[in-house]
Amino acid sequence: MFPKRQQGFTLLEVLLAGFILFLTIATMTMVYRGALLSSSKAEQSLQMSAAVLPVRQIIADEVRKNSHLENVSGEGVFGHISYRWESSRTHIGLPSAILQEDSGLNDDLRYYLVQVDVQFQTGLATRNYQFRELAW
């Protein structure tokens, strides 16, 4: 008599194949989740970086308008990004005597160097920036 041919898989082979499939799916899910989180963070960072220049101009105008004040602060929204800022005067100076004589400017003219701290926020992401502004 001929030995009976085996048909199908053993239980051990099926369990091992199922375990390998589970590990592959779990690994791919973790990789996809990581890529999705990185993409979201990069998008938020890009949005905040794109808002820096226009918001800086808004703040600079506000600082120049209120240059007579020692500290100025404010807040606003630019697109989906909210921002808060504070400025403090770091230096007061006078133009040179030559400039005053040549231009006919009076002695009251002063310039101010102002330190500005800005905090951008969108969703849960927060980013801080600092810059200096010249006001008169």
In a domain, 18, yes or no: yes
For tokens 């980013």, the residue is 127
Number of residues that this document lists for the chain? 136
Measured CA distances, 42 to 28, 36, 68, 123, 134 (Å): 21, 10, 40, 13, 32
pLDDT in tens, 7-52: 888 999 999 999 999 999 999 999 999 999 999 989 988 989 999 9
Per the structure block, which two tokens stand in for 6?
Answer: 């085996």
Would 6 be classed as within a structural domain? no
Rg of the chain taking only CA atoms, in angstroms: 32
Task: Return the structure tokens found at 63.
Answer: 């600082």
Element (H, E) at 90: strand 81-93
* Structural domain that includes position 23: 12-135
pLDDT at 117: 97
Which of 112, 120, 115, 122 has the alpha carbon at shortest distance from 53?
Answer: 120
Instruction: Give the CATH number for residue 92.
Output: 2.20.25.110
User: What is the rounded average pLDDT of the residues 49-76?
Assistant: 93
| Higher-pLDDT residue of 79, 107 | 79
* pLDDT, tens digit (0-9, with 9 covering 90-100), for 91-109: 988 877 665 666 665 556 7
Average pLDDT, the chain: 89
Give domain status of residue 66, yes or no.
yes
